[in-house]
Structure 1
């Protein structure tokens, strides 16, 4: 049947090509950045494979750090250097502060009224204030400290049990489960391990499908006229997932409204309900807005955090000399009688360098969520047309040999004595983005990443199963927004502490 679909798609695209002949536009006489020519209708989509951050990196070597590439009908500017990123995300930040249309986000986030995919507007600015002041402030993050301690403690107990029997732990699945449980407790106030949907799927299975659909290339994003034909079947899947989320969130919101427990820590749903339909508040939210925001926070916190922890542990297990340095710092600072606490994290200089190096080589989003030009702009003499999509390749910037010595090598010492940070001020290291659209959950993600890695490394030694040497550890990437490992990380723990 695959050949039939191929023929149908080709016939459809040929028909659309006849309907929309390519004509010269007013921008043709202006100097766009260099880039591949591409084909009519398809543009240069054929040049992108399963790992587009790597493909765009290779193209940038040929065409430059500000590159124009037409993806379908969409003019796209790819940014691949720190200097170029600073121009787009700082110097001209306001021009590029919006988001382009996104088919999956339209379905999952109620026509893109969440914070991540919403266009730049007064509504988005209100959402940003709510997140900064109410949902992801230091005070709110700290209020969930006891929950994080409990959930990480459960992980440590499981790993310690495995260490007793000398069996390998699937760190990938355990870390994803931990991230999922913590995110659910933060957003909903409880975990969901049971089947919660009519088709007997658990919430995590549906969440993972939602994340996959957000990442999978959708031809309708690049050739908008074909959206109504759903040639890939993605719209049907998106509608099904969106309906499941919507019905589930309605039940959650009703439960929170009816709850009489005033003593529990307020979760994200509680906070958002405080703005529900209030004309007296600066922010007026309806149920639809609340559902979009809670799904946004939930998916982002599960995916990015779990992937970063997974890569940090992978690099430490592969580089045992660096693992030993982290363990030595922990041992010298806290001894071997107690476990590392969240309040200890700021004092761990070498661990924090390991985190920076992990995010340099494996940024949470290798391609930052695309920006959209709100008006024509000229950058470095190049014309950037209104409505162009801007893709910042944070993965390529983190491996730029003009910025980093031995750029492909995992070497935390490169940050020793320096002031390079990951918080959006140093454009050669922007795993969370920068400017107005910087990731608002950055501090929460860093806290969880450092805490989990510190405890797993302080409490346990790790070796690969079946006599595998660290050099043999497969470090290939898989497809996704956050680019997880292609193969699960399995390792055998040995308990280290004296308690």
Structure 2
């Protein structure tokens, strides 16, 4: 989406794959770092976090450099083509800004945005989809309802399109409940107060680091009935949304520091989940575990192993 081409694992150095690098990035970002608590001993790197960070940085930095170089070479090859006559993507826009904004957008800035797009756009969405599938497999009745809703709207002779998703009330309730029960970023992104203020009778001094525990908010019995149960029906007929206006459901944060990718994330998650449910029947052996792995995000600790079988009436390319 941001670079107008598809990248594969071969585009990363050292034989690493994108999935492995994204998981490692979020793993080290959320890991316990001894130096954060005893700064003068940070250089010792007791638990190896610094060396892991440097290894990930090297690989992702090389990838971002290659993306920028590819675009620069293509732009040079286009020669005298007018900008409006060429295909321009997000990296092109950033390069245009770097050329016209008195260098206020540097190459380092562009690389940082590329890496942010890569990490934030992949891991959080895939984690949410995986948790939604996990909970639906633990709730076969809800899984069947979601499939029946899609089948009655779309049929079984074609796959779901993006324009169909807005008609799937049950599916959208499943997505909202997944965000409540398994928020992809359980502490959101750390915030810092600019100036001193009073909140609820407590004085918060400037430069205070603030974490919002949306994982705990979503499981608070004072806010949600049966908070520890996965019940998408709680959102049926409700106007409660995940876009930051309902303060008991904030998977993307809110205000000026809310996630800028809300619309894209919802589109990707809803469409991907709809196609998985509509195109396939799913079975799993034994009990589905829900053990979490701590990091900047909270993915499943163990892979989700399931069997799938094609359920449409014809082989239709997804």
- The alignment's TM-score, normalised by the length of structure 2, stands at 0.90
1:241 positional shift:
2.6
Contact 2:3 2:67 in 1 (8 A): no
Where does residue 269 of structure 1 map in the other structure? 91
Alignment of 1:459 with 2:279, yes or no, is yes
Q: CA 1:356–1:223 in structure 2 vs 1: closer, same or farther (change >3 Å)?
A: same
| Partner of residue 380 from structure 1, selected from 190, 196, 200 | 200
Match of 1:444 in 2: 264
For each residue in 1:406-430, what CA deviation from the matched residue of structure 2 results, as whole angstroms up to 9, or x when unmatched? Answer: 1111111111221100000001110
- Conservation of the 8 A alpha-carbon contact between 1:376 and 1:384: yes
Corresponding residue of 1:430: 250
1:396 and 1:463 mapped to 2: Cα distance? 31
- Output the CA distance in 2 between the equivalents of 1:450 and 1:243: 34
RMSD over aligned CA atoms reads: 2.0
Report SS of the residue matched to 1:237: helix
Q: Work out whether residues 424 and 438 of structure 1, in 8 Å CA contact, stay in contact via their aligned partners in 2.
A: yes
SS of 1:392 mapped into structure 2: coil
Question: Quick check: which has more Rg, 1 or 2?
Answer: 1
User: Any unmatched runs of 5+ in structure 1?
Assistant: 1-184
Residue range with higher mean Cα deviation, 218-227 or 334-343:
218-227
SS at match of 2:97: coil
What's the offset of the Cα at 1:270? 2.2
Shift of 1:264: 7.4
Is 2:27 the counterpart of 1:212? yes
Query: What displacement does 1:378 show?
Result: 1.2
Structure 2, unmatched stretches of 5+, are none
Give the C-alpha shift of residue 377 in structure 1.
1.5
Distance 1:206 1:416, change over 3 A: closer
- Per-residue deviation at 1:189? 2.2
Question: Structure 1 pair 237/476, CA: closer, same or farther in 2 (3 Å)?
Answer: closer
- TM-score, normalised with respect to structure 1: 0.58
1:294 is the counterpart of 2:124: no
Tell me, what secondary structure is at the counterpart of 2:15?
Answer: coil
Q: How many residues align?
A: 307
Map of 1:126 onto structure 2: none
CA distance in 1, matches of 2:183, 2:54: 30
Aligned to 1:192: 8
**Residue by residue, what CA displacement relative to the aligned partner does 1:233-252 show, whole Å, maximum 9, x if unpaired?**
32233223323322332222
Partners of 1:364 and 1:190 lie apart in 2 by: 25
